[in-house]
Each structure stands twice: as C-alpha cells, then as structure tokens.
Amino acid sequence: MHLRETELALGLIDNTIVILVAMKPEAMPIVEALGMELGGRLHPCYPIEHYSSVKRPHIHLVINGVCPRFGVDNVASQPATIAAFLCIERLHPSILLNAGTAGGFQSAGSSIGDVYLSYPKVYFHDRRIPIPGFQEFGLGSYPCPDVRPIAKALGVKTGSVSTGNSLSSITEDLEIMKGYEGRAKDMEAAAIAWVAEQHHVPFFAIKAITDLVDTDKPVQEAFLENLATASAQLALKTVEVVEYLESHGIPALDGTERMEPKCEAIDPRI
C-alpha cells in the first residue's frame, strides 16, 4: 500500500472538506462551480453519489441520490444519516459541511435567497419526547464551530438551523423553533450533526432560503418557485466558504482555527 493510500485509510490527510447535499438541483451548481466529476457511489446498496476534482483532491461532494422506488431525491433525515456515516468512513473529512436549501422566517428578517451558516447550534424540532432526559435528547442541540468570522467575511447570516422530516410545520414545531430562535428550517442538518458528533468531526450547515415559514404562501409553492434561485446563491456562497476554509483553516468549536482532524480512525490493519 502506498503512503497516501495508508494515510487515507487511517484518516490522516489534513484539510479534507466534504460537502453533503440532499438534492441534485441543490448540488449540481456547486459541482459545476468546483469543476467536479462523478466518481461513483459510496456504497453499492445506496444511490449516494460521490463527486471530486482532480485539481482540488481534498474537496469532495456527496449527494444523497435518487430513491429507486419513488424516483425522487432522497431527502430527510434517514438518507442524510447514512450518507453522513459513509462520508466519514470513506472520505475521512477534517470538516463536514451540509449545503442545502431551507425555510426562513420573515419575522426574523429572512428573505428569499438569504444564506445562513449554522451557529450556535443545530436542533431537531419534531422529535417531541416529553420525558426527562429524552426531551433534551430529542432536541439534540448539536454545537457548531464559531462561524461568525466566516459569515462576516462572506456577507451571510448566522443562526440556529432546525431539522424536521416534514416540509410544512405544525404549530408545535413553530413554538419549539421559536424557543431556540431557529432561523433556517431544513430536513437534514441535525441528522448529519449527530453523526459528525459521534465521530468528533467538526460540522456546520450552509442554508439558502427558498420559502418563508411564517407567511400565508404555501411553503411547497414557494419552494418550487425559488429552488433554482436559492440553489444558485447556495453554490456561490458554498464555494466562498470552501475558499475561506482553504486559506484560513478549519474552525474549532471554541472559535480557533485548526487543520488536523480530531477523529481517530480505526487502523484497518488491526
């Protein structure tokens, strides 16, 4: 085994950035902007696609893929959890990013096309378990690195991202999100954050707003109308985030910058 292959197997390559995206319409503008090509699937049982670039081999992008049964993008937390696990096991990221679209809140000053970086935390809003201990577990409250310097440099917003498995929201969801000042409502980030936390891999989300949750317009109509516009803005800012990380290093939870991975991978020779 060559040295680089050994390092990859042991998770020792520094500054590996992996971007995980749920939907192909969200992902392809990023793939094109970074000059990436499809490399195949991460696992034969799942339609999870892996893209990479010869010019920037330390950057990877993974898409959840299309459900073979229903023929739609594999959205929501179950595909995201499996994809995040495979990203970490196969690609050994120094940092894991989740780029995607989300709903915003007009009451919090959001507009269509706004981009948020997740900070200070990522939550679940639809895991309602009103039992001591389990209630906190249900919310998750996964901390993110201090991305405020990145947001300031790139002219984007920060806020907590809130995850649920439905596009629409019931009143109880909205009250829970209000409790921790959720600013972007998505269907994947907290699931990915949970996996990243288990592996001690830094994680944050990049979310472009397609719809406003607290207005009268049906979210599904706004989502479909604004998906292309928001995805273009998402691609622009995701590339800028990658370039920032390349030049400034990877932020730790305490706001310092670090390049080496925290996770100790299992030696495949054992």
> Is the model's pLDDT at 6 over the cut of 70?
no
What's the pLDDT band for 258 if we cut at 50, 70, 90?
low
Q: What is the pLDDT of residue 252?
A: 76
- State the catalytic residue, choosing from 26, 126, 146, 186: 26
> Is the model's pLDDT at 8 over the cut of 80?
no
- CB-count exposure of residue 37 (10 Å: 0-12, 13-18, 19+): exposed
Position 39, amino acid? G
CA dist 108 and 237 (Å) reads 21
What's the pLDDT band for 234 if we cut at 50, 70, 90?
very high
Residue 113 — left, alpha, or beta (φ > 0 → left; ψ -120 to 50 → alpha)?
A: left
CA dist 26 and 189 (Å) reads 14
Q: What percent of the chain has pLDDT over 90?
A: 86
What's the pLDDT band for 251 if we cut at 50, 70, 90?
confident
CA dist 261 and 58 (Å) reads 13
Cβ contact 73:64 at 8 Å: yes
Tell me if residue 211 is catalytic.
Answer: yes
For the chain, domain boundaries? 15-251
Q: Is the bond preceding 25 in cis, omega lying within 30 degrees of 0?
A: no
CA dist 137 and 131 (Å) reads 10
> Is the model's pLDDT at 108 over the cut of 70?
yes
Q: Alpha helix locations (H) across the chain?
A: 3-10, 24-33, 77-91, 134-139, 148-154, 171-179, 189-199, 219-248
Q: What is the pLDDT of residue 253?
A: 72
What's the pLDDT band for 246 if we cut at 50, 70, 90?
very high
> Is the model's pLDDT at 256 over the cut of 60?
no
> Is the model's pLDDT at 237 over the cut of 60?
yes
Q: What is the pLDDT of residue 12?
A: 35
**Nearest by Cα to 215 from 225, 204, 229:** 225
**Nearest by Cα to 103 from 208, 228, 188:** 208
- State the catalytic residue, choosing from 126, 173, 186, 211: 211
What pLDDT digit, counting tens, does each position of 170-199 carry? 999 999 999 999 999 999 999 999 999 999
- CB-count exposure of residue 2 (10 Å: 0-12, 13-18, 19+): exposed
Q: What is the pLDDT of residue 5?
A: 39
For residue 263, the SS3 value is: coil
Residue 84 — left, alpha, or beta (φ > 0 → left; ψ -120 to 50 → alpha)?
A: alpha
> Is the model's pLDDT at 151 over the cut of 90?
yes
**Token digits of residue 47:** 């339609």
Instruction: Judge if pTM exceeds 0.75.
Output: yes
Mean pLDDT of the chain: 90
> Is the model's pLDDT at 261 over the cut of 90?
no
**Nearest by Cα to 18 from 2, 6, 34, 7:** 34
34 beta partners: none
Mean pLDDT value of segment 226-234: 97
Q: Which DSSP symbol is given to 104?
A: E
> Is the model's pLDDT at 90 over the cut of 90?
yes
**Token digits of residue 18:** 């992996």
> Is the model's pLDDT at 142 over the cut of 50?
yes
Q: What is the pLDDT of residue 262?
A: 42
CATH architecture, domain defined by 15-251: 3-Layer(aba) Sandwich (3.40)
Q: What is the pLDDT of residue 244?
A: 96
Cβ contact 161:118 at 8 Å: yes
CA dist 92 and 57 (Å) reads 13
